[in-house]
Amino acid sequence: MPASIVVQKPVVAARQLILLFHGVGSNAQDLVPVGQQFAANYPDALVVSLEGLQASDFGQGRQWFSVMGVTEENRPGRVAAVMQDFRSLIEQLQKTSGVSAANTTLIGFSQGSIMALESTQTQPALAAHVIAFSGRFASVPTHPAHGTSVHLIHGDADQVMPVESSRTAAKLLQALGVPVTLDIERDVGHGINARMVSAALSKLPSERRN
């Protein structure tokens, strides 16, 4: 299993599992501040920031799949090639923590969001909630993500992953009957600010908090 950072481990048995997936060329440390915000609101959650499955093509950090020479045509295949390993990471943490998919939340940023969103097109469901910061689907979703709500959050000044990718994802998911929300943050580029984290927290049921 690639290196990961346990942001929070409850003293008693975890009731929830919150997993974070960073962007390309980054590492598990990158999303620790976001994980800490969720930990503060959900003290009974096991919160883990995971590192990408592969060393980055660019010589620094990690990645979930290769972006060297990536195109719209070959991206889906690259995601599909690593999806089982991605699922296995999540399923192993669910097994060791004793927390089911119904009490799991996946939080991705950029490439991590691509993986989290694409996982909703596989079965069985991995999580009750997917929060995708600055993300997109690699392929057009073709069926509902049964048991999973999707929350898309994006800066409107993003020059790396254009905000239109989240707008398109929201429309596609709505057409499939998937519970989906879309929050667009004005004048924010490819990143996550405090208001975006607050928007993400607001999407989770308040009864999950202590």
* Catalytic site positions: 110, 158, 190
Per-residue tokens: 21: 């997936």
| Cβ-based burial of 106 (10 A; exposed 0-12, middle 13-18, buried ≥19) | buried
Instruction: Detail the DSSP E strand segments found in the chain.
Output: 4-8, 16-21, 45-50, 54-55, 62-63, 104-109, 129-133, 149-155, 180-185
Which of 132, 123, 118, 122 lies closest to 19 in space, CA to CA?
132
Q: Which of 121, 38, 137, 41 is nearest to 87 (CA)?
A: 121
